[in-house]
Amino acid sequence: MRTGVVALALVLLVLAPVRAAHAQFSFDARRFGMGGVSLGRDGNVSRFNPAYRAVKKRSTPNGAPRISIPIPIGLVDFLKQHPLGRLRYDPMFNPDSAGFNPIALMNLITSPPIFYDVKKPPAPTNDVEFTIGKNAFVMDLGEAQVLIPEQEFGLGTTSRVLDIAGPGIAGFHFGVMWFLHYDIGLTLDDSLRRVLKDADSVRANSIYSIRADALGQSGIAPTISYSGRITHGAGGADSSDDGFYLGGAVHYYLGAGYARGQGPAGFVTGTPVFVTTPTPLLDDTVWTSNKAFATGFGGDVGVAWISGPFEVGFGINDIGATLSWSDTKIQRFHYFSVGDSLSTELVANHVPTKTKLPITYVANSAIRMGTGTTVGGDVVNSGRGTVIHVGVEQRYTVFAIRGGVSRDQRKHMQFGFGGGLRFGGLGLDIGFWTHSPALSEKRAMTMATSISIY
Amino acid sequence: MKAFATALLVCVAACGQGRAIFNVDVYSFLQGTGRDTFPYVIPPSLSTTVNTVQKVSLPPGFGSSGVDSVRITSGNVTLVNDSGAGSIGISVYFAGDSAGTYSAPAALTISPTAVSGADTVAVPISGDISAVVDSLFNQSVLWVRIEATGQNSSLTQTAGGTGILTALMIRVVLQDKVF
């Protein structure tokens, strides 16, 4: 029972507001030190901006290393505290242990201990207090109230599992991509939120529910794309990366399948609250595709301009991407308290429906000043919330100092700072980065160390 | 109630090594049922006993819990004596069923309180009852019996009045393993 409840708790917690993880999952300590901003031309920039596919992959654009190798100090520390031979008995991984804390485990999952945690992610261990009366049920979760989300929470993303450019000519390419989109949103109704977050009493004859809206779809998309350098600098095309770049792609989406569920789940209390059995509430509608090969058109557009030390770009994906599914089944799942039964009602079958892929984008900018200063920033939206990073690096001979700020998907400000040493093609970097893992409002701090090869 | 329980357990699970504290308002289950008052009439030189028994629902999931402590934190009986003189002692019993409360040892005994003439006396009820009743909280239903024992020392006058329960809150502190 405990394991099951813990698993449920973990699922709920993992589904809760997902923080911006880009910087945390980078192995580049420079990026940590600059508040998560990436000065390179790979990763988000080339994923979201087709114009960048025409920019030559020079070894050190904006001083970015070719390879970053993490120094896993955090892993050493973690293994010291959690010996592999004793994981079975380790309270962190053993739900039967009194010391087991699902929040701490989720922090571990969402923040792998590659780097050293200077300030560990908060994992509330406070008392929780319940007041039970004939007509009252109050849950005072104490500090754990911060875990209860105020608004819709969930997770989702649009990814291109495979994006094969294929053969091309004069900047045009014919290829195919495999897209995957999922989005799960959960919203507590006002009464349930008040019970969990404000320690309001459960009231008689009231509805307490979570509203879910989940969509998953996948398919392939034959693509015609173009990326090219429209202008170049005064020294000619090969002298530098200077120029104006343009990119675009038209996708013909072929959906393989989709499913969507929408509706509330919860319970309705009786009178008195703690004497009568609450009635389960479930009234959800589910759409599923009967046949594959939904069709639809959409496109990507991107521009980039590089002029000496200055660089700016903007790319937007899946514009107008609406998939038409020709054959869909719509079912309604409804719980009836009379007879304690769950009914499945076929609302419609073999009917057409439409789904959309969310628009995703990235805007990036960087400038290298003659004084050894590089300033950069980016704005990324991968389908569920916008993340903003701004960072600066100042080099003095072999030394570098860095700083930056970011606003994560939960609109929390985060900070980074760090430094490095570079000797020729080899560098050693250290970066400190605050982040709000799990569901807490409080910040944790991670120290990243990496070796860079330029 | 399972939905409640699941939500409750998830919340407790999220709190790591923290304790789960349950404040059970026993009085709320008695209030308005008539069982929160017990009239007494004690003939001269005799003693008499009146009882009130109540079922209390507890959240499921207590089963594997380790009970740290059980305490009556806030309890009160108001004795409204109409006539005569004597003393009223109060005992509280807990059991898993109604009949069991009559064979269980007293969880808490309050020394007799003297009453005389037309008088109103408040009798506070509080104390640690962990040693007597901790295992009972492993069940989802608990029965409580409140017994008032009156003693009339007068040789001629009958003592009479009403005892009114106005509060009875039990605080149960559990270790983390609620489920």
Pick A102 or A303 by higher pLDDT: A303
pLDDT at B6 over 60: no
Q: Which of B1, B12, B20 sits opposite A278 (nearest CB)?
A: B1
Q: Which of B18, B31, B64 sits opposite A128 (nearest CB)?
A: B18
Of B4, B16, B17, which is closest to A137 when you measure between CB atoms? B4
Residue A148 CB-density burial (10 A; 0-12 exposed, 13-18 middle, 19+ buried): buried
- pLDDT bin (cut points 50, 70, 90) of residue B17 is low
Output the six-digit token pair for B24.
């059970």
Q: What integer pLDDT is reported at residue B62 of this predicted model? A: 55
- pLDDT tens-digit map of A202-236: 999 999 999 999 999 999 999 999 999 998 877 66
- Summarised one tens digit per residue, pLDDT across range A129-153 is 888 888 888 988 887 777 777 777 7
Nearest to B15 among A5, A124, A202 (CB): A124
Mean pLDDT of A84-99: 73
Q: Is residue A66 scored above 80 in pLDDT?
A: no
- pTM of the predicted structure, to 2 decimals: 0.70
Residues of B in contact with A99 (CB under 8 A): 16-17, 176
- ipTM, 2 decimals? 0.81
Give the Å distances, CA to CA, from A121 to A345, A355, A407. Answer: 46, 38, 18
A60 pLDDT band, cuts 50/70/90, is low
Question: Which residues on A lie below 8 Å from B3 (Cβ)?
Answer: 208, 266-267, 278, 280
Numbered residues of chain B with Cβ closer than 8 Å to any chain A Cβ: 1, 3-4, 6-25, 28-29, 31, 57-59, 64, 175-177, 179
Q: What is the pLDDT of residue A369?
A: 85
Q: Would the pLDDT of B32 be above 60?
A: yes
Q: What is the mean pLDDT of residues A59-67?
A: 64
* Burial label, B28 (beta-carbon count in 10 A; 0-12, 13-18, 19+): buried
The residue type of A273 is: V
Cα–Cα nearest to A380, from A364, A365, A391, A392: A364
Give the mean pLDDT of A189-195: 92
A124 touches chain B (CB under 8 A): yes
Overall residue count recorded for chain B in this entry: 179
Residue B82: predicted pLDDT: 94
Residue showing tokens 């929470």: A153
Predicted confidence band of residue A321 (pLDDT cuts 50, 70, 90): very high
| Tens of pLDDT, residues A328-362 | 999 999 988 777 788 899 999 999 999 999 999 99
Higher pLDDT, B101 or A163: B101
- The candidate with the shortest Cα–Cα distance to A26, out of A315, A416, A317, is A416
User: For the residues A371-384, what does the mean pLDDT come to?
Assistant: 87
Task: Determine, for residues B6 and A2 on separate chains, whether the beta-carbon distance falls below 8 Å.
Answer: no
If you measure CA to CA, which chain A residue comes closest to B24? A132
Average pLDDT over residues B141-169: 91
Residue from B1, B55, B68 whose CB has the most chain A CBs within 10 Å, to mutate: B1
In chain A, what is the greatest distance between 2 CA atoms, to the nearest angstrom?
84
Average pLDDT taken over every residue of chain A: 83
CB-CB neighbors (< 8 A) of A123 in chain B: 16
pLDDT over 50 (residue A2):
no
The edge-to-edge listing of strands for the beta sheet with B47-57 is B47-57, B141-151, B85-95, B108-116
Residue among A3, A358, A388 at smallest CA distance from A185: A358
Q: What is the pLDDT of residue A378?
A: 92
